[in-house]
Amino acid sequence: MLDGWARRHIDPLVRPAAAGAAQAGLSANAITVSACIVGLASAAAIANGWFTTGLLLILASRFGDALDGAVARLCGKTDLGGYLDIVLDFVFYGAVPMGFVLADPTANAMAGAALILSFYVNGSSFLAYAVVAERRKLETDARGSKSLYFTTGLAEATETIAAFALACVFPGWFPVIAWMFAAMALYTALARIILAARTFR
């Protein structure tokens, strides 16, 4: 829901860094992989109860996620780059809730499991829609130039990062945040399924 707004504010900050990275010879794929590694480090920090460190690493990881696309637009997008970006994004999205579960299994296990399930359902609805949209030659620039067809929704990347950040600031509230965001993700998936039924009929 907020990705378009966030993109308009973040892109001007990312462009100079992307130009510098491209001049230094850094590939978009290398940045994608590095951002995922930092994201996994954030999950490890959270699992150990280092929530402030986890938050800082989440923000660094997501900056890398914005940077790789900007570098790809400068140097040329590739199918492999688009593939890695999506796959490693979902690695990050699953790892952070797992970090909270490991930090306090008794309090967080059920909510964390529900959140990961909602990501699985929402992600599959997004990817399946993109596959069929590609086959039907549908195009959209609602989220800028992307390798896949991006459908918008209530729970997108910006909202996910905000939920993770909020949980790092208030770790005792993770179950409440996770249940609420899981509901948002499932609502987004349901809305996308309804959209598919109308569009692909």
At 124, which CATH number?
A: 1.20.120.1760
pLDDT band at 70 (very low <50, low <70, confident <90, very high): confident
Residue 91: predicted pLDDT: 97
Residue 129: predicted pLDDT: 86
Check residues 4 and 18 and name the one with the higher pLDDT. Answer: 18
Residue 9: predicted pLDDT: 63
Domain count, the chain: 1
Q: What is the mean pLDDT of residues 182-194?
A: 93
**CA dist., res. 10 & res. 5, Å (int):** 9
Q: What angle do CA 137, 69, 96 make, to 5 degrees?
A: 105
What is the torsional sign of CA 181, 159, 126, 96? negative
Q: Count of alpha carbons within 13 Å of 129, Cβ hemisphere only?
A: 25
Q: What's the token pair of residue 171? A: 């770790």
Residue 20: predicted pLDDT: 87
Residue 22: predicted pLDDT: 83
pLDDT band at 1 (very low <50, low <70, confident <90, very high): low
**CA dist., res. 109 & res. 103, Å (int):** 10
C-alpha distances out from residue 14 to 7, 11, 148, 169, 195, Å: 10, 5, 21, 25, 32
Q: What percent of the chain has pLDDT over 90?
A: 59
Residue 23: predicted pLDDT: 85
> What is the span of the domain harbouring residue 15?
3-199
Task: Give me the chain's average pLDDT, please.
Answer: 88
Q: Is the pLDDT of residue 4 over 80?
A: no
What does the DSSP 8-state code read for residue 68? H
The answer to whether 107 and 170 have CB atoms below 8 angstroms apart is: no
Q: What angle do CA 200, 123, 142 make, to 5 degrees?
A: 65
Of the listed ranges 13-22, 34-43, 173-182, the one predicted with least confidence = 13-22
Q: What is the pLDDT of residues 141-185, one digit of tens each?
A: 654 555 555 666 777 888 999 999 999 999 999 999 999 999 999
pLDDT band at 19 (very low <50, low <70, confident <90, very high): confident
What is the torsional sign of CA 145, 149, 152, 157? negative
Q: What is the pLDDT of residues 96-125, one digit of tens each?
A: 999 999 999 999 999 999 999 999 999 999
This prediction has a pTM of 0.87
Cβ-count burial 94-106 (b if 16+ within 10 Å, e if not)? bbbbbbbbbbbee
